[in-house]
Amino acid sequence: MSDKLEVEEKSQYFDEMFSGHQKPSICLDRSYLENSDNISNTKVTIDYENSEDHHEYSVRKFFTSGKSAKVVDEGHETVSCISGDITDLPLIPVAVLGSPGVGKTSLCHQFTTSSLINMKEGQEEVKMETELVVEVDGWKCRLNIVDFPGSFCHSLLSPDPTSSSSLDSYNMMVVLVVFAVDDRRSLERAGSLLALLRREGRLVDKVGVLVANKADLVRSRVVTEVEGQTLADRYEVGYLETSAGINYNVDQLLVKMVKEVQEAVDRKQGVVVKKMSVTERIKDLVGRRMSRETSQERERRRERE
The predicted pLDDT at position 1 comes to: 56
Residue 229 has pLDDT above 60, yes or no: yes
Query: d(Cα 167, Cα 261) in Å, to the nearest integer?
Result: 19
The predicted pLDDT at position 196 comes to: 95
Query: d(Cα 83, Cα 174) in Å, to the nearest integer?
Result: 27
- Bridge partners of 47, per DSSP, are 25
Q: Please give, one letter per residue, the 3-state secondary structure of 195-212.
A: HHHHHCCCCCCCEEEEEE
What is the radius of gyration, based on Cα positions, of the chain?
24
Per residue in 231-279, pLDDT tens? 999 999 999 999 988 889 999 999 999 999 998 887 776 644 445 455 6
The predicted pLDDT at position 43 comes to: 40
The predicted pLDDT at position 73 comes to: 82
Q: How confident is the model at residue 85 (pLDDT cuts 50, 70, 90)?
A: low
Residue 230 has pLDDT above 70, yes or no: yes
Q: What is the mean pLDDT of residues 42-52?
A: 43
Q: What is the mean pLDDT of residues 39-66?
A: 60
The predicted pLDDT at position 58 comes to: 82
- Residue among 175, 171, 169, 220 nearest 194 (CA): 175
Helices (H), the chain: 2-17, 104-111, 150-157, 161-169, 184-199, 225-234, 250-269, 278-304
Comparison of pLDDT for 62 and 114, the residue scoring more: 62
- What is the pLDDT of the chain when averaged over all its residues? 77
| DSSP 8-state symbol, 89 | S
Residue 101 has pLDDT above 80, yes or no: yes
Per residue in 154-191, pLDDT tens? 899 988 889 999 999 999 999 999 999 999 999 999 99
Measuring CA to CA, how many Å separate 180 from each of 189, 250, 303? 11, 14, 44
pTM of the model: 0.69
Comparison of pLDDT for 128 and 303, the residue scoring more: 128
Query: d(Cα 221, Cα 216) in Å, to the nearest integer?
Result: 9
